[in-house]
Amino acid sequence: MFELQRTIKKAVSIKGTGLHTGTECTMTFKPAPENYGIRFIRVDLGGAPEIPAVAEYVVDVSRGTTLGIGDAKVYTVEHVLAAVSGLQIDNLIIELDGIEPPIEDGSAKPYVEKLLEAGITTQKEPKDYLIIDETIMYHNEEEQVDIVALPLDGYRLTVMVDYRNPALGSQHTGLFDLEKEFVTEFAPARTFCFLSEVDSLLEAGLIKGGNLDNAVVIVDHDLSEEELKNLTEKLGIGEDVKIGQNGFLNEKSLRFKNEPVRHKLLDLIGDLALIGVPIKAQILAARPGHKANVEFAKKIRKLYQQKKLVKKYQHIKKEGMVFDVNAIMKILPHRYPFLLVDKIIHLEMDKKVVGIKSVTINEPFFQGHFPGQPIMPGVLIIEAMAQTGGLLMLNSYIDPSEKLVYFMGINKAKFRKPVVPGDQLVLEAELINRKRKVVVMKAQAFVDNNLVAEAELTAAIVDRENKKEEQ
């Protein structure tokens, strides 16, 4: 795998019809500076809005992956992103004068050829690889989908599908060397659908640009001549259509014996590009689809954002610790005697955080609460839980040091056991709900695995006053 970032040498364009919208579009690939990433730009809309190719901008996964910001959308981006990711391009401007890239032949090959025509050049900045160092799993019981990422110093993908169809049956494939295999073995794999799906796809307003030149149609049931004629009219196909003897409409020949599963792997590469950075991992996927791919990409992207955040504030890696007190003070505004969390030992972005507060007799509040029988005030236990929760919320922002967390409400507060000098508080905060800048968290405090306090906290995230003054 390449160690330096890459872009293309010159602009190149490709023009054609979108698969699902049936609209005409010219798509232009342009060189981009280092650390720019991959961005789609709708040049046909006022202000030419940019949509970064990252998972949080996915707005739909109906038979394809759609990105959007506000009213600006780009449909069916997965084949384009597969081409970009397969060629290990890090920075690229993708301009479109329409809502959907040209489908061409239904594979990533036409995009790959255009990008190679433009030429690929190495940049000076190193690639920002996300190294998977622990097993990450996704499971959807209802659809029987499993995707797993395993640690590996490289990038490999293995995909298995079972279509329960005589024409296909069970298929599997694997990509083990992106540089050697992608262009010839996977980029040419075309999109496909089953004959039984065509009517429902048309009724859903999809495949308006679909035809037998940009998709392989798999015959999974018999059709009468009349039904076949009606289907041909619905698709707007001017040619005669026949039920093939080989299991494919018009007896289309496959480019590979297992072309459908290779296309599934191609889609997976494109959807995983939405992580936003190249990864080093082995990916194993059973029965993947766009919905599962994007959910998995979101999960890994959160891990990337978390690692980036930790690296920004925790300069020295310490075993069993996410943030030490020095890192915490870079994020939270609290100082002695009101900083009530010593370290963070667990963090799942936008989900859960666990902090530690060691309680000693040197705490200033013990002088008056209570003389001769020191007990930590319950309100300060809640404050300690809230400060821990504040770290969970602020990690959603590019610069948490510019934000403050204000209490809005404390509900269901209960204090079950006293906390005294020598105790170590384990503080847990879990995100329950979030609406814009208002969050609700469930917070608990434990001593020796015993629950000592709990509450439901509502807070608002606001700008610091000094930031407003600077603006």
φ, ψ dihedrals at 324, nearest 5° = -90, 180
353-389 residue pLDDT tens? 999 999 999 999 999 999 999 999 999 999 999 999 9
Helix ranges (H only) for 216-289 are 225-235, 259-272
Contact 270, 235 (CB under 8 A): no
Q: Is 265 exposed, middle or buried (0-12, 13-18, 19+ CB in 10 A)?
A: buried
171-211 residue pLDDT tens? 999 999 999 999 999 999 999 877 777 767 777 777 778 77
CATH 3.10.129.10 range(s) for the chain read 314-470
Kindly report the average pLDDT of the chain as a whole number.
89
- Please report the pLDDT score of residue 448 as a whole number: 97
- Please report the pLDDT score of residue 254 as a whole number: 85
- Please report the pLDDT score of residue 195 as a whole number: 75
CA angle, 212 then 222 then 237, to 5° = 25
Query: What architecture does CATH give domain 4-126?
Result: 2-Layer Sandwich (3.30)
Contact 411, 370 (CB under 8 A): no
The DSSP element (H or E) to which 301 belongs, if any, is helix 290-313
331-345 residue pLDDT tens? 888 999 999 999 999
The C-alpha atoms of residue 57 and residue 276 are separated, in whole angstroms, by: 11
Contact 100, 23 (CB under 8 A): yes
Q: Is the pLDDT of residue 400 over 50?
A: yes
Q: Is the pLDDT of residue 428 over 90?
A: yes
Q: Is 160 exposed, middle or buried (0-12, 13-18, 19+ CB in 10 A)?
A: middle
The C-alpha atoms of residue 246 and residue 243 are separated, in whole angstroms, by: 9
The C-alpha atoms of residue 421 and residue 366 are separated, in whole angstroms, by: 9
Q: Say which amino acid occupies 18.
A: G
Which residues lie across from 441 on neighbouring strands? 431, 457
CA angle, 321 then 325 then 330, to 5° = 110
Taking only Cα atoms into account, the Rg of the chain, rounded to an integer number of angstroms, comes to: 27
Angle between helices 259-272 and 290-313 in degrees, nearest 10: 30
- Higher local confidence (pLDDT), 313 or 282: 282
Q: Is the pLDDT of residue 454 over 70?
A: yes
218-262 residue pLDDT tens? 766 666 667 666 666 666 655 566 665 555 665 567 889 899 999
- Please report the pLDDT score of residue 63 as a whole number: 80
If phi > 0 it is left, if psi is from -120 to 50 it is alpha, else beta; for residue 154 that is left
Residue/partner pairs of 228-233 with CB below 8 Å, 24 or more apart: 231/198, 231/199
Nearest of 199, 201, 198, 192 to residue 21 by alpha carbon: 201
Peptide bond into 337 cis (omega under 30): yes
In CATH terms, the superfamily for domain 136-307 is lpxc deacetylase, domain 2 (3.30.1700.10)
CATH 3.30.230.20 range(s) for the chain read 4-126
What is the 8-class DSSP label of residue 183?
I
- From residue 347, give the alpha-carbon distance in Å to each of 297, 429, 453: 19, 10, 20
- Please report the pLDDT score of residue 418 as a whole number: 97
Which residues lie across from 231 on neighbouring strands? none
66-125 residue pLDDT tens? 999 999 999 999 999 999 999 999 999 999 999 999 999 999 999 999 999 999 999 999
Most distant CA atoms of the chain, gap in Å: 95
Length of the chain: 471
φ, ψ dihedrals at 52, nearest 5° = -65, 140
- Please report the pLDDT score of residue 244 as a whole number: 57
Average pLDDT in the 261-274 region? 97
- Please report the pLDDT score of residue 467 as a whole number: 47
Q: Is the pLDDT of residue 471 over 50?
A: no
Q: Tokens for 170?
A: 């069970």
CA angle, 386 then 391 then 392, to 5° = 90
Nearest of 334, 345, 413 to residue 381 by alpha carbon: 413
Q: Tokens for 316?
A: 């020295």
Nearest of 354, 349, 350 to residue 341 by alpha carbon: 354
Q: Whole-prediction pTM value? A: 0.82
Sequence-distant (6+) residues with CB within 8 A of 349 are 302, 303, 305, 306, 309, 392, 395, 396
The C-alpha atoms of residue 22 and residue 55 are separated, in whole angstroms, by: 25
The C-alpha atoms of residue 342 and residue 144 are separated, in whole angstroms, by: 43
Q: Is the pLDDT of residue 286 over 90?
A: yes
State whether residue 424 is helix, strand or coil.
strand
Q: Which CATH code for domain 314-470?
A: 3.10.129.10
Q: How many C-beta atoms lie closer than 10 Å to residue 326's C-beta?
A: 12
7-63 residue pLDDT tens? 999 999 999 999 888 899 999 999 999 999 999 999 999 999 999 999 999 999 988
Q: Which residues are catalytic?
A: 290, 369
